[in-house]
Amino acid sequence: MKALVFHGIKDIRIDEVSKPKINQDEILVMVSYAGICGTDARIYNGTKKITPPRIPGHELAGVIVEVGQGVKGYREGERVTVYPMLHCGDCYVCKGGRTNICVNRKTIGYEIDGGFAEYIKLPAAAIKKGNVIKIPEGVSDIAAAASEPLAAAYNGMLRCQLKGKETVLIIGGGPIGLFHVQLAKIFEADKIILSEPMENKRKLAKELGADLCLNPLAEDLAETLKDFTGGEGVDCLLMDVGRVDVIEKSLNYIKKGGRYVLFAGCPQGAQITIDPNWIHYREIEFTGASSSSPANHRIVLDLIASGKIKMDPLITDIFPLKDWKKGFENKSNYEGLKALIDFRGEF
Ligand SMILES: [Zn+2]
Ligand SMILES: [Zn+2]
């Protein structure tokens, strides 16, 4: 079969590899589409480290073509997507219920071969832990292949702890930011503000429910936000851009007692400088959001099925495998929104 294989930094190739053979407790899936994540671009650039050789791809949809004899609850022909992170269940965070930040987590596409291939073998652990999720009726393979980042965005929204009638500021209008705009509506935020330099993304955010879209390159965000919130600042900020300068600037946008959620990952080794008194005197809750859970992934698939979350406007590119590099480059340059690789034949 054809697969996209990571051999080292700036060295990803389309290889002919053998089709995986499954054990009796595993499932073989024929991949239809796999999403390109910012992390995949970071793997290529070397700012996210994985051990080669490895098939990346942690966002995927496909159809089951083989089910091991010992596997219950799945059958050939069913469409599935995968929640890619496998938690251990034994570490202190897992025992405390926060499996998404498991100490021993292993992720399909990072430590286990992923979805940038014609076929993927789903390990027994993924099946047992509920990570193999049937795609509900009314959700296309294309939407399902882009649902993993939505599950992660959903976790970020939970971390906001919106209490109703609150103002949310979302920084960055990429796929995650645009998911957050839609989720903030579902979570009944009073006002949804998006900061994004690219006009087409601001326009889309408006259509998807943002009340106010700001261009951080054209205006003084701190001033505009002050005016908009009657001098108070926003209740909650979701940082969907992994850039130190943007993060450092954004600290002043929050009101006293507000919440700040760092959603986006930064390049390894990044450092921010903040005024500790800004957190101390204002009692700002400063936190992060990482990964998600199979339960959240099921919830967001239902949100797509019910039409509450719109996926179509966010999926801007579907590349044949041979053009994978264009997709990765677009990600690095913030061009387009969600891009997928098509694995249904024609390479
Ligand atoms: Zn991702
Ligand atoms: Zn664990």
- The amino acid that residue 188 corresponds to is E
* Residues 83 and 131 sit within 8 Å (Cβ to Cβ): yes
Question: What average pLDDT score do residues 259-272 get?
Answer: 93
Residue 60 is predicted with a pLDDT of 98
* Residues 78 and 129 sit within 8 Å (Cβ to Cβ): no
Question: What average pLDDT score do residues 248-265 get?
Answer: 96
Residue where the block lists tokens 């390990």: 123
* Helix (DSSP H) and strand (DSSP E) numbers for the chain: 12, 17
- The model carries a pTM of 0.96
SS3 298: helix
Distance 110 CA to ligand 2 centre (A): 17
Protein residues near ligand 1, an ion, with CB under 5 A: 37, 39
Distance 306 CA to ligand 1 centre (A): 23
Distance 193 CA to ligand 2 centre (A): 35
- Report d(CA 183, CA 120) in Å as an integer: 31
pLDDT band of 290, cuts 50, 70, 90: very high
Domains and CATH numbers, the chain: 2-146+311-342 (3.90.180.10), 153-288 (3.40.50.720)
Distance 51 CA to ligand 2 centre (A): 21
Residue ranges in the chain assigned as alpha helix (H): 38-45, 92-95, 124-128, 141-145, 147-160, 175-186, 199-207, 221-228, 244-250, 276-280, 294-305, 324-332
Residue ranges in 215-321 assigned as alpha helix (H): 221-228, 244-250, 276-280, 294-305
Residue 268 is predicted with a pLDDT of 82
What is the rounded average pLDDT for all residues in the chain? 96
Q: Percent of the chain, pLDDT > 90?
A: 94
pLDDT band of 47, cuts 50, 70, 90: confident
Question: Which ligand minimizes its atom distance to the CA of 150?
Answer: 1
Of residues 108 and 332, which shows the higher confidence score? Answer: 108
Question: Which ligand minimizes its atom distance to the CA of 41?
Answer: 1
User: For helices 38-45 and 324-332, what crossing angle results, to 10°?
Assistant: 100
Residue where the block lists tokens 């596997």: 71
pLDDT band of 347, cuts 50, 70, 90: low
Distance 76 CA to ligand 2 centre (A): 31
- pLDDT single digits (tens) 220-230: 999 999 999 99
Tokens of 228: 């908009």
Residue 7 is predicted with a pLDDT of 98
Please determine, for residue 24, whether its predicted confidence score (pLDDT) is greater than 70. yes
Tokens of 40: 């995949």
Distance 86 CA to ligand 2 centre (A): 9
